[in-house]
């Protein structure tokens, strides 16, 4: 193995290498990716697929003067290796280390941060227009996977590019996958282009010419490719109709061809699309044969690709199994996902009810309205969308579902921290952004069995509902054979001493900390009740009022931001009841939380029983003083 990577301290060093050396660099980067990500976990498949593309981009363009915008940016590991972060790469997704996505505060070469799909074209167009207005000459390159074109924002950007700038390069990284296999008409359209035999023959000849004559024929080859594409696909070709000149498809792993094509496109005074065909996971057989698994995963064996046995079922798996059982008994139950069948575990539901499973692509807004439409016809749609991704469909939740009081169920996976993925993926805002919406009920289970009960409750409920549950495994509670319906807006009292002094409301995943806090208070002589709220909306007014009227202190714990969260709802309820009992709220602060291990971050930001006790001490001291005065 060569040692080219050790010599790359900035993109300028990439330009010093010969084509043969660049091929060696590509091989070395693949080896580094496979070995390093095996230890840290991460998005290995997408990054193995863009090695040559990223090298060619850095060879031809000059960041940070030129700007690269990666859609989602989970495929930016190679970019990080080539922009002065090679020595830190072993820290990726680790506490205090490199972020797994582009991050503007991490490097001047990261021109735009991302983590959600469909943003690259709009952001790149914004940069290009700003450049034009300022009289700049730098290049803007947007790299977006084919899956990003199932997202409506990409088409909103396409609709504006030609009208608003004369220079923008869009690279369509076509590997036919998002996390699962791409779906819908756009995927079929790209497939038709790629599998057109005449186009394939043309580009085989183009590659051969390039190898024989180098850059001298590139302009001619590119022009022939453009003419052939237009002639074969017709005047209605998608990108041409949007006003972008289309080039390709070409082999996204052919470094010489990519470099010469980028040099050619760099000279164009018009917006262009380069269609590059890549193989997700290239160079690592397990990532090729198991593309869905190796899109993003935890640590694995760098030789075999094997991962540790799953062991206990995750909340996602419990959700999918529970939904399958509900669908077995109710033919109106349907499942909807936005390109996340694996992440939401709906791939476990799909084999049992394939005709009642819908993957709409990376299109959360459409997923919600689609669900609303089905609900008007008597169906019960369960929309499985991560908490962080459901943010994208807020207007549709309000306008299309809740305003019409339609019985759509939002199943929000990753409610709480998403750990190593960081702030773009943490689900810390859904209580706040849903609590203000009329007609919606919002449930948070304490364990796996209660999740099943809440899904059953939502199925029976005649209006919209939401359920948030954490990433990963729960406490391991066995799910009973038959779920039970919960009373809407009723909390569960877990423990209540005879002379209760403190009431602790532990929402969902924070209930164990509430139990720990009660034990700590008991050791200090304070009797504490523990309540499982179950509902973030509606809050159990009777329960809050009862304990608020009897106790000297109320404590709320939630795996959510404090601003507008469950604790805020408790405060509002107490205020409406004209109760002035002090309230200590424990939750995430008003800032974006970095990536890291959940336990470490909870400790750092005070989402522990110990931190809650420290915040409660002034009130406990006052309570103790009052008790002494009475004595």
Cα(428)–Cα(507) distance, rounded to whole angstroms?
A: 13
In the numeric block, which tokens belong to residue 222?
Answer: 């590119």
Helix (H), strand (E) at residue 273 = strand 272-277
Give the C-alpha separation, 508 to 472, whole Å: 14
Residue spans of beta strands (DSSP E) within 396-506: 409-412, 441-443, 465-468, 492-495, 502-506
Per the residue annotation, which of 93, 292, 392, 446 is the catalytic one?
Answer: 392
Return the residue matching tokens 């971050």.
601
Sheet holding 502-506, edge to edge: 492-495, 528-532, 502-506, 553-561, 583-588
The count of residues in the chain is: 631
- Cβ–Cβ < 8 Å for 172, 146: yes
Q: Is 230 in the active site?
A: no
Place of tokens 């470490």: 600
Residue in 28, 260, 321, 364 annotated catalytic: 364
Cis peptide before 285 (omega within 30 of 0): no
Contact (Cβ atoms closer than 8 angstroms) between residue 71 and residue 118: yes
Phi, psi of 466 (to 5 degrees): -135, 145
Distance CA 537, CA 570 (A): 10
Apex 369 CA angle, 364 and 372, nearest 5: 130
| 253-274 burial: b if 16+ Cβ within 10 Å, else e | bbbbbbbbbbbbbeeeeebbbb
What does each C-alpha distance from 487 to 34, 167, 272, 367, 597 come to in angstroms?
Answer: 50, 59, 57, 28, 35
Count Cα atoms within 13 angstroms, Cβ side, for 423.
14
Please tell me whether residue 180 adopts helix, strand or coil conformation: coil
- Cite the beta strand spans of 24-183 per DSSP E: 67-70, 140-145, 169-174
Contact present, 239 and 273 (Cβ < 8 Å): yes
Annotated catalytic residue: which of 32, 93, 167, 280? 280
Question: Residue 156: how many CB atoms within 10 A of its CB?
Answer: 13
Tokens at residue 210, please?
A: 């390039």
Of 600, 597, 604, nearest to 298 (Cα)?
597
Give the integer Cα–Cα distance in Å for 432 and 56.
44
Question: Is there a catalytic annotation at residue 280?
Answer: yes
Strands 409-412 and 357-359: unpaired
Which residues, 6 or more positions from 355, have their beta carbon under 8 angstroms from its beta carbon?
none
Measured distance CA(552)–CA(582) in Å, rounded: 7
- Cα separation, 142 vs 53, in Å, equals 12
Residue with tokens 């009431």: 503
263 phi and psi, to 5 degrees?
-60, -40
Spatial distance between the Cα atoms of 171 and 50, rounded to a whole number of angstroms: 11
Measured CA to CA, the distance from residue 326 to residue 332 in angstroms comes to: 10
Residue 321 annotated among the catalytic residues of the structure: no
Annotated catalytic residues are 280, 364, 392
């Amino acid at each position: 193995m060569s040692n080219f990577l050790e010599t790359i301290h900035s993109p300028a060093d990439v330009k010093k290498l010969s084509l043969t050396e660049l091929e060696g660099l590509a091989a070395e980067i693949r080896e580094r990716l496979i070995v390093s990500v095996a230890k840290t976990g991460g998005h290995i498949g997408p990054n193995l697929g863009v090695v040559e593309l990223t090298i060619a981009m850095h060879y031809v363009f000059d960041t940070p003067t030129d700007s690269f915008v990666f859609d989602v940016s989970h495929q930016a590991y190679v970019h990080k290796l080539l922009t002065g972060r090679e020595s830190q790469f072993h820290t990726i997704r680790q506490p205090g280390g490199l972020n797994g996505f582009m991050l503007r505060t991490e490097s001047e070469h990261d021109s735009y941060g991302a983590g959600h799909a469909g943003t690259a074209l709009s952001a790149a167009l914004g940069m290009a227009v700003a450049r034009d207005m300022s009289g700049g000459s730098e290049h803007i390159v947007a790299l977006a996977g084919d899956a990003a074109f199932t997202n409506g924002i990409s088409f909103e950007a396409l609709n504006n590019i030609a009208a608003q700038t004369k220079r923008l390069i869009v690279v369509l990284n076509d590997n036919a996958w998002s996390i699962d296999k791409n779906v819908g008409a756009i995927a079929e359209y790209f497939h038709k282009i790629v599998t057109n035999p005449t186009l394939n023959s043309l580009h085989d000849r183009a590659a051969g010419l390039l190898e024989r004559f180098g850059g001298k024929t590139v302009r001619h080859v590119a022009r022939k490719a453009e003419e052939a594409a237009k002639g074969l696909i017709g005047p209605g070709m998608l990108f041409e109709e949007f006003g972008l000149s289309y080039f390709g498809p070409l082999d996204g792993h052919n470094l010489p061809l990519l470099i010469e094509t980028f040099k050619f496109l760099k000279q164009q005074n018009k917006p262009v699309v380069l269609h590059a065909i890549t193989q997700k996971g290239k160079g690592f057989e397990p990532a090729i044969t198991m593309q869905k698994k190796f899109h993003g995963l935890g640590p694995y064996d760098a030789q075999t690709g094997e991962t540790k046995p799953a062991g206990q079922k995750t909340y996602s798996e419990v959700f999918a199994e529970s939904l399958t059982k509900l669908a077995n008994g109710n033919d109106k139950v349907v499942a909807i996902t936005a390109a996340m069948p694996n992440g939401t575990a709906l791939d476990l539901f799909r084999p049992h009810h394939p005709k009642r499973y819908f993957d709409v692509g990376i299109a959360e807004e459409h997923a919600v309205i689609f669900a609303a439409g089905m609900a008007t016809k008597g169906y019960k749609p369960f929309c499985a969308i991560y908490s962080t991704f459901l943010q994208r469909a807020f207007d549709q939740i309000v306008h299309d579902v809740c305003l019409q009081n339609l019985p759509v169920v939002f199943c929000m996976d990753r409610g709480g921290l998403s750990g190593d993925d960081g702030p773009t993926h943490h689900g810390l805002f859904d209580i706040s952004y849903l609590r203000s919406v009329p007609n919606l009920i919002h449930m948070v289970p304490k364990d796996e069995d209660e999740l099943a009960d809440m899904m059953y409750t939502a199925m029976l409920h005649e209006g919209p509902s939401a359920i948030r549950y954490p990433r990963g495994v729960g406490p391991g509670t066995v799910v009973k054979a038959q779920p039970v319906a919960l009373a809407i807006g009723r909390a569960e009292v877990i423990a209540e001493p005879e002379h209760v002094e403190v009431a602790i409301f532990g929402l969902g995943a924070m209930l164990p900390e509430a139990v720990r806090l009660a034990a700590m208070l008991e050791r200090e002589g304070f009797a504490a009740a523990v309540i499982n709220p179950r509902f973030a909306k509606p809050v159990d007014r009777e329960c809050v009022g009862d304990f608020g009227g009897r106790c000297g202190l109320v404590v709320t714990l939630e795996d959510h931001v404090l601003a507008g969260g469950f604790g805020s709802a408790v405060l509002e309820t107490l205020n409406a009841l004209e109760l002035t009992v002090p309230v200590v709220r424990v939750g995430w602060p008003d800032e974006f939380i970095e990536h890291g291990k959940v336990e470490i971050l909870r400790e750092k930001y005070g989402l522990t029983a110990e931190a809650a006790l420290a915040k409660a001490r002034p009130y406990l001291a006052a309570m103790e003083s009052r008790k002494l005065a009475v004595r």
